[in-house]
Structure 1
């Protein structure tokens, strides 16, 4: 999807060269130099917009005034108002449908949801964040497996005309991922081909480090996992469950209550959610998104990671908190997108666990 006023991905014109030489450094300086401002989910008087970064990646948590002010005061530069092509609300986190409530979730309701598969068998969930990039959990992906990603369909076993299957070209793990503590449970999958957006396939917005979600905020987790912990098989239809965001201290108390003694395992870089009436994610849901709605835009706050038990009411599920990894996502995409496997230039601007800890794989 092209950014209004900017180049189209894959173009080779002189205009694209000018864009790369002039505006990409400006964007880097703006990212590095702008003043911090916390944006609180549910607060009034704050206009949140999307900022297009590498190859279509969209990060939420920057407002128009911050970005434009920074660009205007860059020393030795002409004052440039980048709002027209860098700030593009509506490029992510939107679904093209009239929402119909109920479970299982209808088509188009979660168009960023993908199925990460091996030999056409569902292994984990994931979320589309750019035309060639999928976000998932590190514990879902192993270097020796050959993965494909299925997009655009809520039924895993159907031959839907809306479904698209694309091979995964490369996997990028967070280097400090720890399978024992489940810290830094995040990974990126680079697709072999760019996906075309449609009513059934759309990217989700990512929460930036300045974006705060208050405890008690209602969000949603989605996936094809089991609805009961010891259920023999996973469901072929995409499921959804409400999740209420919890504070660290409360989540730790609830986790310890499930098994005693139990070490304090909820750490920085994790976020918890649960619901007193609906179950949480379970095996097969790992890697899928935890999304929250704000100003008609869906923002991914977490990645399904682990839990003491799964799919139980009032038992918290633990998610990787994306806000702590936004810079890593940005940098990983920047490095991987410089050259693809065929040597073609891709424009940067377009772009075994303890038994008590059950990953939701």
Structure 2
């Protein structure tokens, strides 16, 4: 990612947030309220499948045949692209066949700078097989941000998605949910702490104890508003939560959610819209779902990947120690050598068990 930025450029937005009381914040996406008719016209439910297994994400229309979402939504599992993908537009409940527009996705274009190990550059573009009638949302830009063009209104919903609705990520919904999420300063985000947080390309948001996002909201919008017109602009794309690394419930409201900062990627978005670059073609759209689907896969956090690496090393050490012990016993080595090797084996086995427990907690 590029170097870190301060939030001085969005001082108006943050000043508004800091000055307002959080006491009357709207209900959250986790346990929140359905979005009313006419709201979020650019927001899309993305229904993917891989190996016959379904999953869901959220996205935003940015051009007649393009939807922007999180890069990890292109994968059914880490390293494995979705086999099929469908966009469902124009319906607050994606199972409402009378209101929705269903269009197949025929190509996935992942940001070439995306790093699933650190969640860097978590943004992708999905190409629709035909134009949609849904309106495109305006993109927030660096220039307008620097000019103080954007603002946020306390209690005005600024995030939406079809994700899980409880902090343990067990309850699903087919109705689009919305909430007001307070945008945090870069210093607040680092203070959580969020490992690897980069203020040049990421923002974090969440209304403490009141509002947050969850699995399935991935790729969904975080908006700011034009201070002159109140028009919503796409400010962020839901990426991940640091809760697992902090040993909290998967969608706990104690920590904010990390969003990919859209102004850092307008060149990628605009270049993709201008031409169809090389991407991963999909064979066919998935059938439109008739009920809740599993949440979107989540890219492993940096803490999870680090824990997995330590576990892999511990397993290798345990295997080598066990084989040495067996070899000494087969060769009828001295009791002293066998006892020393046995002690060593039990020590490395204990370290492997500890590393396994750490990995389970970090990779919830």
Q: TM-score, normalising length from structure 2?
A: 0.60
User: Which range moves more in the overlay, 211-220 or 247-256?
Assistant: 211-220
Find 2:253's aligned residue among 313, 316, 319: 313
Report how many aligned residue pairs link the two structures.
241
Native 8 Å contact 1:255 1:316 kept in 2: no
Task: Tell me which residue corresponds to 1:304.
Answer: 238
**Unmatched segments (≥5 aa) in structure 2:** 1-8, 15-31, 76-80, 244-249, 282-298, 305-360
Task: Tell me which residue corresponds to 2:86.
Answer: 148
Query: Which one has a larger percent strand, Structure 1 or Structure 2?
Result: 1
* Offset of residue 265 of structure 1: 2.8
Task: Tell me which residue corresponds to 2:167.
Answer: 229
* Offset of residue 123 of structure 1: 1.1
* Offset of residue 251 of structure 1: 0.9
1:180 and 2:96 matched: no
Structure 2 CA distance, aligned partners of 1:220 and 1:238?
Answer: 13
Native 8 Å contact 1:40 1:211 kept in 2: no
Find 1:245's aligned residue among 166, 183, 203: 183
Task: Tell me which residue corresponds to 1:276.
Answer: 208
Task: Tell me which residue corresponds to 2:127.
Answer: 190
Find 2:300's aligned residue among 333, 347, 353: 353
Native 8 Å contact 1:112 1:204 kept in 2: yes
- What SS does the aligned partner of 2:267 have? helix
Native 8 Å contact 2:94 2:100 kept in 1: no
- What SS does the aligned partner of 2:218 have? coil
Structure 1 CA distance, aligned partners of 2:151 and 2:255?
Answer: 16
Q: TM-score, normalising length from structure 1?
A: 0.60
* Offset of residue 279 of structure 1: 2.0
- What SS does the aligned partner of 2:180 have? strand
Structure 2 CA distance, aligned partners of 1:105 and 1:250?
Answer: 29
Query: Which one has a larger percent helix, Structure 1 or Structure 2?
Result: 2
Task: Tell me which residue corresponds to 1:287.
Answer: 219
Structure 2 CA distance, aligned partners of 1:194 and 1:216?
Answer: 31
Structure 2 CA distance, aligned partners of 1:202 and 1:299?
Answer: 12
Mapping of 1:42-191 within 5 angstroms? 103-118=33-48, 121=54, 123-142=56-75, 143-159=81-97, 161-191=98-128
* Offset of residue 332 of structure 1: 1.7
Query: How far does the alpha carbon of each residue in 1:117-161 deviate from its partner, in whole angstroms, 9 at most, with x for none?
Result: 0259551000011110100000110334210100011112222x2
Change (3 A) 1:208 1:131: same
* Offset of residue 191 of structure 1: 0.4
Task: Tell me which residue corresponds to 2:265.
Answer: 325
Structure 1 CA distance, aligned partners of 2:123 and 2:302?
Answer: 21
Query: How far does the alpha carbon of each residue in 1:293-346 deviate from its partner, in whole angstroms, 9 at most, with x for none?
Result: 2222110100000111254334211100000000111112222189xx9xxxxx
Structure 2 CA distance, aligned partners of 1:140 and 1:228?
Answer: 21
Task: Tell me which residue corresponds to 1:69.
Answer: none
Native 8 Å contact 1:215 1:244 kept in 2: no
Change (3 A) 1:181 1:272: same
Highest Rg: 1 or 2?
2
Structure 2 CA distance, aligned partners of 1:39 and 1:320?
Answer: 16
Query: How far does the alpha carbon of each residue in 1:39-60 deviate from its partner, in whole angstroms, 9 at most, with x for none?
Result: 97669xxxxxxxxxxxxxxxxx
* Offset of residue 277 of structure 1: 4.9
Structure showing greater relative contact order (alpha-carbon pairs closer than 8 Å, 6 or more residues apart): 2
Change (3 A) 1:216 1:111: closer
Task: Tell me which residue corresponds to 2:29.
Answer: none
Native 8 Å contact 1:114 1:127 kept in 2: yes
Structure 2 CA distance, aligned partners of 1:135 and 1:282?
Answer: 18
